């Protein structure tokens, strides 16, 4: 069965930035082919990605989050756990799970930084969509 649907998970933290990744993804893959799912934060993405992949409905799952140093917890630990979990979700399910989870070294709550990262997330969304299409095409070729 050929899947033409894609799942897109997005974290609610820094939604004004993270949501731009969906904008970029939709520039490459039509919105009608994308089911969008919201989660509170990045840490919740791997479990949902695994569950969505396991449904068999999606050619690929993309997950977007912006993990910044809030000064309270180790953001690098969170980011590493999320990316590792997303990779495991893809490996365990056999469905490509793509990460648009970014952890900047220097982020400040300024208009300048917000604009930089909004634009960056649009491009990362485009890249994830292209990767989803490419890996899906390659896997179809291998299965033939």
Catalytic residues: 74
- Name the pairing type of β-strands 60-66 and 97-102: parallel
Helices (H), 1-144: 15-28, 45-54, 75-93, 111-143
Q: How many CB atoms are closer than 10 A to CB 93?
A: 19
| 141, two tokens | 């070729």
| 133, two tokens | 């299409």
In angstroms, rounded to a whole number, what is the distance separating the alpha carbons of residues 109 and 53?
34
Do 78 and 42 contact (CB within 8 A), yes or no?
yes
């Amino acid at each position: 069965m050929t899947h033409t649907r894609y799942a897109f998970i997005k974290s609610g933290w820094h939604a004004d930035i993270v949501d731009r990744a969906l904008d970029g993804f939709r520039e490459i893959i039509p919105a009608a082919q994308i089911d969008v799912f919201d989660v509170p934060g990045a840490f919740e993405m791997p479990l949902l990605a695994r569950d969505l992949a396991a449904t068999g409905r999606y050619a690929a799952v993309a997950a977007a989050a912006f993990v910044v140093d809030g000064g309270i917890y180790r953001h690098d630990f969170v980011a590493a756990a999320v990316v590792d979990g997303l990779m495991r979700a893809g490996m365990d399910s056999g469905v490509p799970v793509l990460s648009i989870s970014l952890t900047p070294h220097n982020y400040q709550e300024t208009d300048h930084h917000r604009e930089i990262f909004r634009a960056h997330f649009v491009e990362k969304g485009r890249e994830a969509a292209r990767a989803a299409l490419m890996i899906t095409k390659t896997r179809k070729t291998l299965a033939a």
